[in-house]
Structure 1
Amino acid sequence: MDHAHGAHGMGSMSGMGGSGVSSWDTLGALLLTGWAVAMWAAVVVLAFGNRRQVRPWMYKTAVAVIGLGVIGQVGHFQEHVAQVGYWVAHPYSPAWMTPWGTGLARGMGQVDPTKPTLGMEILHLVGNFIFLAGLVGIAQITQRAARNLKSRKWARMGVWMQTIHGLEHVVLTLSVALGATRAIGLSTWFGLIEPGPALVTYRVWWHFVANLIGTAILAIAVYHLWKERRAVKAAYEAAVPAASETAEAVAPATSELDASEESPVRETTLAGRP
């Protein structure tokens, strides 16, 4: 959840530092971070794999990355929906997080307990990069298709937008980690808005709208990917038999070459016999 920083925004974030952190908070933070790391490791492997001969596992890996990205964004977006809902009911109150979001933020805040809002910033940084990895997965799985696909077009649009959004969270997180009294970024007007209802309202709606647009793009990309799934899968299935046929064609040719090289040797041996 994206919160304003300062006295007005601190009430709902008490306990996000090192105090009151449960084992579940720590475990959840580790699992979510591992989730993001695993997804980006798969993205890197797929990026290199797509430059080489296709392998059967590449299609399945890309599907897994997309699925994890969709699940992650559903969880991420519901936080923003819940926050906007709370703002509608309490427009002058400090920003709010769901209990599970608060727990994850507490777990991640153990990186530096002296900065109460750092855990929340890290949580949303991780969530946004899980979202970005899912969009990249769609762009990767459609890369081998011969024709232009709508799913690839929408995925690339989403990658560009979410990259900008992700960089916003990098800046917000780094500013807090480096000791800024307020998070600095576009969604805080570079720290110039004083803590209070104005800052809470601006940041809550800024991130909600950004995630609403990004989630809509993801949904459209997934919709078109489902419609174009046969063309996408065919690109992988056609490449695998072609590779195996090439290997089978090379094997007989190699055998014939070996046989032709052995023939003169045999003839010489026979000629040398009395």
Structure 2
Amino acid sequence: MHTTTSVFDTPGAVLLTAWCVVMWAAVAVLTRTRHRRPPWAYRLALAVTAVGLVGQIGHVQEHVAQVIYWLWHPNDPGWMTPLGDSLARGYGQLTGTDPAVGMEVLHLVGNFIFLAGLVGAVLATRHVASSSAHRWARMGVIMQGIHGLEHVALTVTAAAGLPPVGLSTWFGLLDAGPGLWTYRVWWHFLANVVGTIVFTVVVAKFWRERHRVGAAWAELTTRA
């Protein structure tokens, strides 16, 4: 990880955090309005889903880049793109820690943006009986929820000055070195690729069901 600072490090981290907070605020609003079903709730759920998908596309590209770098440098520590490196430094500055902890915070925020998008898909399709998109979205929430909890554990333990503890570190039992670096790079790459595939399936199935979903929301809104 590079140590050269930039004036964009902290503002970038602040903006990414705001992105995550706004998405979860929207999820909270949608949850609170599930009984009243205002006309704008469906559009808001779609927006949360779309923004989450955009965020995950950027997130998974970071992991793809890490794997490509690993192929040429398998014994080096995990690499980050210049943007990811800048955001990690920004989170290190915001939290008063080093960039390594900032990196954990960055991936925590990125994963919760992804999770919010999947929750948005669940909320958008919840009123359609036998919705395949809804089932896939719920599966995605469970999978990404588990992965998100791992990132919480990684971030908390790293911030406490301990070796990061999670599935990608064998709960802190792997010593720093090529074995740990390789395992973490590939673990998070596969977790994000699988999650992105699930999200892509959700979007594809929603597109096929969009008329049923829209009609169900329109009927509920009329009743309300």
Specify the TM-score bucket, using the shorter chain as the normaliser. Answer: over 0.9
What is the TM-score of this pair, normalised by structure 2?
Answer: 0.96
Q: Indicate conservation of the 8 Å contact 1:115/1:177, yes or no.
A: no
| Structure 1 residue 23, shift from structure 2 partner | 2.5
1:26 and 2:10 correspond: yes
Distance 1:188 1:68, change over 3 A: same
1:122 and 2:105 correspond: yes
Instruction: State the number of aligned residues.
Output: 224
Equivalent residue for 1:266?
none
Equivalent residue for 1:40?
24
1:163 and 2:140 correspond: no
Inter-partner Cα distance in structure 2 for 1:24 and 1:186: 32
Inter-partner Cα distance in structure 1 for 2:97 and 2:13: 18
Inter-partner Cα distance in structure 1 for 2:211 and 2:97: 53
Matches within 5 A, 1:1-274: 13-15=1-3, 20-50=4-34, 52-145=35-128, 147-180=129-162, 182-243=163-224
Structure 1, unpaired ranges of 5+ = 1-12, 244-274
Q: Indicate conservation of the 8 Å contact 2:91/2:99, yes or no.
A: no
Q: Deviations over 1:189-245 (max 9, x none)?
A: 1111111110111111111111111111100011001110111111111122333xx
Inter-partner Cα distance in structure 2 for 1:113 and 1:205: 29
The structure with the larger Rg is 1
Inter-partner Cα distance in structure 1 for 2:212 and 2:21: 30
| Structure 1 residue 39, shift from structure 2 partner | 0.3
Q: CA RMSD in A?
A: 1.2
Q: Deviations over 1:11-50 (max 9, x none)?
A: xx242xxxx4333111111110000000000001101111
Inter-partner Cα distance in structure 1 for 2:141 and 2:213: 19
Q: Indicate conservation of the 8 Å contact 2:45/2:120, yes or no.
A: yes
Match for 2:6: what amino acid?
Answer: S
What is the TM-score of this pair, normalised by structure 1?
Answer: 0.79
| Structure 1 residue 143, shift from structure 2 partner | 1.0
